[in-house]
Structures are given as structure tokens and as C-alpha cells.
Amino acid sequence: MAQISFDNTENAFAYKTEKELKKAKFLFSTMGYPLFVPIGTRVTPLLIKGRLPFINKIVRNTIFKQFVGGESLEETAVVGETLGKYGVQVILDYGVEGKEGESNFDVATDEFIRVINYAATQKNIPFISVKVTGFARFKLLETLNEAPRLRSGVHDHEDEIAEWERVKDRMYAICATAAEKNIGVLVDAEESWIQDPVDRLTMEMMEEFNKEKAIVFNTIQLYRHDRLQFLQLSHRIAKQQGFVLGAKLVRGAYMEKERNRASQKGYPSLIQPDKESTDRDYDAAVRYCIDNIETISVIVASHNEQSNLLAYDLLEQKSIPHNHPHIHFSQLYGMSDNITFNLAKEGCSVSKYLPFGPIGDVIPYLMRRAQENSSVSGQTGRELTLIKRELQRRK
């Protein structure tokens, strides 16, 4: 069986100059300080809103440069081309979040379609990422999540029925363009109290557009204890309805928020009791998808080395080609290059999740990345160790 190592820093950082590595080393060192992230994540958004040029410049040259492709598609194209030279593909993410109002929703929908059209002109951009909250009112999704009768449309809130129809029309327009241009659409997971209508809408789109191949993908957060079962249920429905299930497997991004809300409102938390349970379900989901690779198209979107090794080993054991159209690996831009670039070196289909957008708009995304790096046990330390090792190797 072919062996792969995620310790090879020469492959991992071949695309970075020594100066870029030193910048990354400084950034991850800073993020390692216990108080830096909690204070920084509160203060930075306020400072950016204040439009202070020097703060803007500092953020742009550090955390923004590390984790974001650029402010525009044109800037992001440069990063995409660099990654492409090393066999790494791109998932484009228009990183604007949380702007409410129908006109903003229409603008976001047009932007998603513009990104799809752009991706179709590039060799190494097979997917784009969308958030339903980018073009749907949060409170509407919450209402639909809480009241099953609303999902059937049988209720007297005519304005809400009309509003939900507009959301469906926006989603349809995005997916129809994607199908026409052969670009995958990865639908982001949301908070559990709005996830149900997102799941239903995504399944409807899969039924429409995934007949021949996977165009639409749902995101399965396995830090929720009910999601392995949900993945298996989704697969049963896909087989019954005759479409390919698109599944992007992640551990999850809203843990503290989910636990806090459950305790405030007095309902049992959906979050797994411990990390071991999340890891167990994640790896079980990887196995399930690869065991059913003919009818499930899976994206292993993980920074966990063991989960990526498991997926790679399963491909080897089952003699599945590394570039099989139904298996893809992905990591966030700016993190876990040791996984991404070593998988690419082995001929695996692998991408970087690459957000772009005006600096003020992608601040929520950046703050989550900072928190994630500090909260995932050992993540910042692992990044630092590998960067230092590579700098040492280059001497």
C-alpha cells in the first residue's frame, strides 16, 4: 500500500517564499498567546469599522493575507494560479455574511452567479461555496425550522410564503447556472436552529440537478450527534429518487454558540459529548461515503491528519483511483498546507477553500479562523512546528 506522509514540509511549503514563511511564523506565534485571540476578535472588527488606515493595513498584511485570496476575483486569481502550479484546486467562497434585506439578497445571488461564471473560465476551480443566509432572512429560516406546517406552505402568512418562494428562486438560479457551467455548489452548514430548511432546500436542488453527477453538495457537521444518521438517511432518499448525493464532511464551526443556546433555552444540546465522539462519527462518515462511492460524491473537508489518512488508505485498500470523480479533499487556505500539498503530490483531487471579498466584509470569517486556530487543540502549535522545520530545512 502506498504510504503518504503529512510531515513533508518541502512539499507543503514549496509555494511559499522564505519571507512569506517568516510572516506566517510570526502570525501563528502571535495567535498562540492566550489573550491575543479573545481580545483581537472583539477589537479588530470595531477598528476596521472605524476605517483607521494603519489598522486596515496591519490586518491586510497579516491575517487577511494568510487566510483570504484577495478583495476581488482578480486579486484572488493570482493565488489560484499559484496553487494550480502545484496541482491544488480551489473552492471559491464569496466571503460576505449577514447582510439582511431583499435588495442585498438579490445582490448576493448575482455575485454567486458571477463567481460561478468566473470559475467556469478557470482550469482549477471545480467548486464554489454558498451560504443560504447570504440570500435568505435568518428569522425566516428560524420560523420554518420551528414550524413544520410552514414547510408545506399551509399557513396564513402569505408574505412569508412569497418570501420563501423568492429564496427558492435564488437558490434555483444559482444551481441552474452551476449545472450549465459544470461547477459544483457547496451549500454551507448553518446553526442547528435554521439548518432544517437549508437541508430541505439543498435536497430539492440535488434531486433537480444531481441526476447525472453531483453539482449540489450539502455540508454535514459531524460534531452534531445526529448527523451520521442524517447522512445515511439522505443517501437512502438519493437512491430512492435516483440522484447522486453530494456530501461535504466537516467537523463543525458553531460549537460554543450551539451549547450556549441549548443551555439558555433548556433543551438537550445537539453537540457531541466529547471530541472522541466527533472523531468517531467523522471517520464513520468517511467510511460510509467511500463504501458507497458510486452513489455518493464526497468532499473530505478536514484539518485532521488521521481522517485524511483514513480516506487515503481506504482509496488504496479498495483500489479506487486517487482522482476518482466522487472523492475530493479540501482544507482552508492558510492552514494545513502539509495535508493539502502532500495529497496533491500523490495525485489526489484536493483543493484550498479560498474566500475573497472586501476586507470589512470578510472580518467575521477571519475572526472565526482565528478562534478556530486557537480552540482546535494543538492546531496553531502544529502549524508553527512545520513552518519552523521548513525554515530550518532551507538554511
Contact 339, 305 (CB under 8 A): yes
Q: Which of 109-113, 133-137, 330-334, 361-365 is least confident?
A: 361-365
DSSP three-state, residue 121 = coil
What's the pLDDT band for 36 if we cut at 50, 70, 90? low
Q: Which of 21-35, 51-65, 111-125 is least confident?
A: 51-65
Mean pLDDT of 308-314: 98
DSSP three-state, residue 186 = strand
pLDDT value, residue 360: 79
Residue 141 pLDDT greater than 50, yes or no: yes
CA 384 to chain centre: 23
The full DSSP string for 303-323 is --HHHHHHHHHHHHHTT--TT
What the chain holds in terms of domains, given with CATH numbers, is 69-370 (3.20.20.220)
CA 136 to chain centre: 19
Mean pLDDT of 222-249: 98
Mean pLDDT of the chain: 90
Mean pLDDT of 163-185: 97
What's the pLDDT band for 237 if we cut at 50, 70, 90? very high
Buried b (16+ CB within 10 A) or exposed e, 250-263: bbbbbbeebeebbe
More confident site: 95 or 46: 95
pLDDT value, residue 120: 97
Mean pLDDT of 159-188: 95
Mean pLDDT of 366-379: 64
pLDDT value, residue 158: 67
Buried b (16+ CB within 10 A) or exposed e, 184-206: bbbbbbbbbbbbbbbbebbbebb
More confident site: 61 or 166: 166
Q: Which of 91-95, 176-180, 344-348 is least confident?
A: 91-95
pLDDT value, residue 365: 75
CA dist 91 and 110 (Å) reads 18
Single out the residue of 254, 339, 250 nearest to residue 298, CA to CA.
Answer: 250
Residue 286 pLDDT greater than 70, yes or no: yes
More confident site: 125 or 54: 125
Percent of the chain with pLDDT strictly greater than 90: 74
What's the pLDDT band for 154 if we cut at 50, 70, 90? very low
CA dist 221 and 31 (Å) reads 25
* pLDDT tens string 199-220: 999 999 999 999 999 999 999 9
pLDDT value, residue 38: 66
H-run or E-run covering 379:
helix 379-394
